[in-house]
Structures are given as C-alpha cells and as structure tokens.
C-alpha cells in the first residue's frame, strides 16, 4: 500500500505534477493582500489570521480535481478498484499524498508569509498549530468531493461548490484558534474543535468516498 | 481452476445488454468472446471483474481471482516503464518484474518514461501487468489494439505460457490470435429491452 503513496508523491514532484501550484497561489494571495489593503500595519495585523487561513484553504482547493481525475482518465482507477487493496485505503492514501504535497508545504511556508501580513509575534506558533491540525481535514474533505465528481468531465466547478460549504467549519475554528492565540486569549476550545473535525473526517470520509467511487465507476 | 458462469445478466447505464450468459472456462483454457460492437463484451468483463453489479446469475470465482485489463492501460506518463510495473508488483504483493519485461520484450525500454513510448509499446506495458498480478484468470478487453504482428505473437505466447501454468484467459477480440481456443458468440444473449426498476429514481 505504501507503493501507492510513493507513486503519487513521485508523480507530484516530477514535471507537470502540480506540486508548486497551491504553494504559488498561497504566496500570490498573501503578497497581494497588503497591496490591496494599504500600508496600515494595524489593519493588516487585524486581518492576518483570516487572510492566511482563507489563502491556505483556497490553495488546497486548487489542486483537488487532480486527486482522482487523473487516475480515472488513464484507467488506473479501474485497475486500482480491482486490485487487492481496499478502495477505502486508496482514498485515505490519496488524501495523505495530497496533504503531503499541499498541506505540509503550506503550513511550513505560512510563518514567512505571516511576516508580510504583520502577524503579531505571539501568533506564529498558533499559525503552525492551527494549520497543522486543520489542513489534513481540508485534504480529506477535498478527496471526498473529488470522489463524488470523479466521472464528470470538467467537474471542477461542481467540486468547488460541493466542497466549499464543507470547508466552512474548518475555516471558522482554524481562523478563530489563530486569532485568539495571536491576541493572547485562551484558544483551547477552537483548537479542540479543529482537531475533532480532522479526526472525524479522517475516520469517516474514506468510507463515503470509496462508496462514491464505486458508484461512479459503474 | 475451472471458471463457470451461469445465467449471468448485466447492464450498462441502467439498460440490460446481456441476459442468460453461461459458459465454462476450464483451467488452461482460452475463451474468445465475439460479437458485434455494442453487444456487451466490455460490460460482461467489467461485471466479472467486480466493477459493476450483476443483475442476475452466478460466477464460480470472485473478482479477487480475475486480473482485468481494460481499453486504457492505466500507465503514469511521468514514471518509467520499470516504475510503472514495480508499482503493480508491490500492489499485488509479487516482487519480480523481470519475467514480465522479458515476455513482452520491454527490457530495453525499462528506464524510459511511459510518456515517450509509442502506442504499441504502451499497450505491451499495459499487458505486462497481467503476469505481475499473479491471478489465475485473465479478463482482457481487446488486448491487441495497436499491437504489430510480432507483438501479437508475443502476446499470444504469453497467454499460452499463462495457460500452460494452469491459468486461463477470457479475451474479447475481433482478430485471430492463433491460439487453441474456444469461441463464445454473445449475439444470442442480447437482452430484450426493458427498463431496470429503480434506475429512474436517480433522475427524480
């Protein structure tokens, strides 16, 4: 099963794999926001948590349609469905691979972009913590959306419409945990809620996504 | 292992295409599926491979003993020939891809990326996955598309070798492979057109 993860990581990092796509988008969003908002550092510090989280969420969304669509187009999804690994594990590994090439780099680069947005110095540890806890949920929910739309030609629009409402709780608790942490307030509750969303989606969504793929392959 | 299919019915897109298909494939045997375009050869193979639910009927072996090869080869363009094959070898828990590479004359191409192969070479790589799976029954959907004459012979000898080792093959094809094989014409099993109950629900 680890072979599937290695294959996906290899593909993502080779030419045309889309490894840098989400990262570049995140970079562009956070660089452009200070230009749009203007040079008031107090305003920037105020909106920094929300902008960083929205940027991370949209960059995650950008590469989602590749999760299953590529395998569907070249026929390997059919072959994986008949292979001796459960489809639930395939979904889980695909989501893990998506997280490793999108969520982890986003989390690691976020503190550097926080500087551009004048994030107060107490916020960096919470930025890493909230993105580290929340991005696995973004990848898993996204993989579920990708599984629902796998048979559709140009399913990207439908995928975004399906996935965005499901992303809202993650965004609310993630940004809230970061905002409270930055302001020096107690933020255990939103962090726990964020961890709960991640745990629940990792536990439940592989089954839902595998069922959706089975229906779509018929 | 003998493979018997009894009274199988299958549907494509909610419309039944084949009804009452019965055949027996003995160990070491090859069965060629014939019939005009659209008769349901692909649907039958996908149903046996477990990708689609059957409407009725029974098969003596489950999807776990069938290695299915579709029209698409499932190759990853940016991976090399050896990497593509090694991936399937580790998925199926077999480790040696050497015999499969030799059987389909791919040894010289092993380090090349799949996107730089010709259509026939891609097909050979797709077929080389079959011995790597180690499964007894091969279900092949038009395996000789875009293969040249020599490669068809190569493929036929790979099938013969698989059958000599006790395996069997179910091949939907329009050409003569030169194999000692039984033929099943699917034309008499064409389903009478009727709506499958419940399919409309998806649209309501």
Answer yes or no: do A82 and B93 touch at CB < 8 A.
Answer: no
Instruction: Read off the pLDDT of each residue in A16-44 and give the average, rounded to a whole number.
Output: 86
Q: How far apart are CA A43 and CA B84, in angstroms?
A: 52
Q: Are B33 and A52 in contact (CB under 8 A)?
A: no
> Among A165, A130, A128, which residue's Cα sits nearest to residue A144?
A165
Tens-place pLDDT, residues B155-194: 888 888 888 888 888 888 888 777 777 888 888 888 876 6
Answer yes or no: do B83 and A84 touch at CB < 8 A.
Answer: no
Q: Are A82 and A214 in contact (CB under 8 A)?
A: no
Determine the pLDDT at residue B183.
Answer: 82
Determine the pLDDT at residue A207.
Answer: 95
pLDDT at residue B200 tops 60: no
Q: What percent of chain A has pLDDT over 70?
A: 99
Determine the pLDDT at residue B204.
Answer: 47
Q: How far apart are CA B3 and CA B24, in angstroms?
A: 6
- The sheet with strand B56-59 has its strands ordered as B15-25, B3-12, B56-59
More confident residue, A154 or B24: B24
Tens-place pLDDT, residues A171-204: 999 999 999 998 888 889 999 999 999 999 999 9
Q: How many residues does chain A have?
A: 218
- Spell out where B3-42 has E strands: 3-12, 15-25, 30-34
Q: Are B87 and A14 in contact (CB under 8 A)?
A: no
Place of tokens 């889980």: A92
Instruction: Read off the pLDDT of each residue in B127-132 and give the average, rounded to a whole number.
Output: 87
Token pair belonging to A110? 């976020």
* Sign of the alpha-carbon dihedral angle for A73, A76, A82, A88: negative
Q: Which of A2, A7, A81 sits opposite B76 (nearest CB)?
A: A7
pLDDT at residue B203 tops 60: no
3-class DSSP string for B163-194: HHCCCEEEEECCCCCCCCCEEEECHHHECCCC
More confident residue, A70 or A15: A70
Tens-place pLDDT, residues A101-113: 999 999 999 999 9
Instruction: Read off the pLDDT of each residue in B135-147 and give the average, rounded to a whole number.
Output: 87
Strands B137-141 and B168-172: parallel
Q: What percent of chain B has pLDDT over 70?
A: 94
The reply to whether B64 touches chain A by the CB within 8 Å rule is yes
Determine the pLDDT at residue A212.
Answer: 92
Domains of chain B: 30-54+62-182 (3.40.50.300)
Determine the pLDDT at residue B157.
Answer: 87
Tens-place pLDDT, residues B79-125: 888 888 888 888 888 778 888 888 888 888 888 888 888 888 888 88
The reply to whether A75 touches chain B by the CB within 8 Å rule is yes
pLDDT at residue A216 tops 70: yes
What are the residue ranges of helices labelled H in B49-175? 81-91, 98-103, 119-133, 149-164
Burial of A168 (0-12, 13-18, 19+ CB in 10 A): exposed
More confident residue, A151 or A29: A29
> Among A139, A78, A96, A93, which residue's Cα sits nearest to residue A1?
A93
Tens-place pLDDT, residues A118-153: 888 888 999 999 999 999 999 999 999 999 998 887
Query: Measured between CA atoms, how close is A141 to chain B, in angstroms?
Result: 24
Instruction: Read off the pLDDT of each residue in B38-66 and give the average, rounded to a whole number.
Output: 85
Residue of chain A nearest B70, judged by CA positions: A75
The reply to whether B83 touches chain A by the CB within 8 Å rule is yes
Answer yes or no: do B52 and A4 touch at CB < 8 A.
Answer: no
State yes or no: ipTM above 0.90: no
- The sheet with strand B137-141 has its strands ordered as B66-69, B137-141, B168-172, B30-34, B182-185
Residue A41: count of CB within 10 angstroms of its CB: 11
pTM for this entry: 0.88
Average pLDDT, chain B: 83
Place of tokens 């494509």: B12
Determine the pLDDT at residue A137.
Answer: 94
**Residue B183: strand pairing partners:** B32
């Amino acid at each position: 099963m680890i072979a599937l993860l290695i294959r996906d990581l290899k593909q993502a990092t080779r030419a045309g794999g889309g490894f840098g796509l989400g990262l570049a988008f995140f970079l562009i969003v956070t660089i452009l926001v200070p230009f749009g908002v203007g040079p008031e550092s107090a305003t920037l510090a105020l909106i920094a948590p929300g902008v960083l989280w929205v940027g991370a969420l949209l960059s995650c969304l950008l590469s989602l349609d590749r999760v299953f669509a590529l395998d569907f187009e070249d026929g390997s999804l059919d072959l994986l469905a008949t292979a001796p690994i459960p489809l639930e594990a395939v979904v889980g590994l695909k989501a893990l691979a998506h997280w490793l090439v999108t969520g982890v780099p986003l989390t690691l680069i976020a503190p550097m972009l926080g500087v551009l947005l004048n994030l107060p110095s107490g916020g960096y540890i919470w930025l890493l913590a909230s993105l580290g806890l929340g991005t696995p949920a973004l990848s898993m929910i996204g993989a579920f959306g990708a599984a629902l739309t796998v048979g559709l030609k140009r399913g990207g629009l439908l995928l975004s419409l399906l996935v965005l409402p499901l992303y809202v709780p993650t965004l609310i608790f993630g940004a809230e945990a970061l905002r409270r942490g930055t302001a020096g307030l107690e933020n255990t509750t939103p962090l726990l809620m964020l961890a709960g969303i991640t745990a629940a989606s990792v536990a439940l969504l592989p089954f839902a996504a595998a069922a959706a793929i089975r229906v779509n392959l018929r | 292992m003998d493979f018997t299919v009894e009274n199988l019915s299958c549907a494509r897109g909610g419309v039944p295409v084949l009804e009452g298909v019965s055949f027996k494939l003995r160990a070491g045997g090859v069965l060629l599926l014939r019939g005009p375009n659209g008769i349901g050869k692909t649907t039958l193979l996908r149903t046996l491979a477990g990708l689609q639910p059957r409407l009725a009927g029974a098969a003596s072996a489950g999807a776990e003993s069938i290695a299915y090869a579709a029209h698409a080869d499932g190759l990853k363009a940016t991976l090399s020939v050896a990497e593509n094959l090694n991936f399937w070898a580790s998925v199926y828990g077999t480790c040696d891809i050497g015999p499969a590479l030799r059987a389909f004359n791919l040894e010289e191409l092993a380090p090349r990326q799949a996107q730089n192969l010709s259509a026939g070479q891609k097909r050979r790589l797709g077929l080389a996955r079959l011995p790597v799976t180690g499964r007894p029954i091969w279900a092949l959907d038009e395996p000789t598309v875009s293969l040249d004459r020599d490669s068809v012979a190569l493929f036929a000898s790979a099938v013969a070798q698989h059958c000599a080792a006790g395996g069997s093959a179910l091949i939907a094809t329009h050409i003569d492979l030169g194999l000692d094989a039984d033929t099943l014409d699917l034309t008499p099993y064409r389903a009478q057109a009727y709506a499958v109950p419940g399919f409309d629900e998806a649209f309501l």
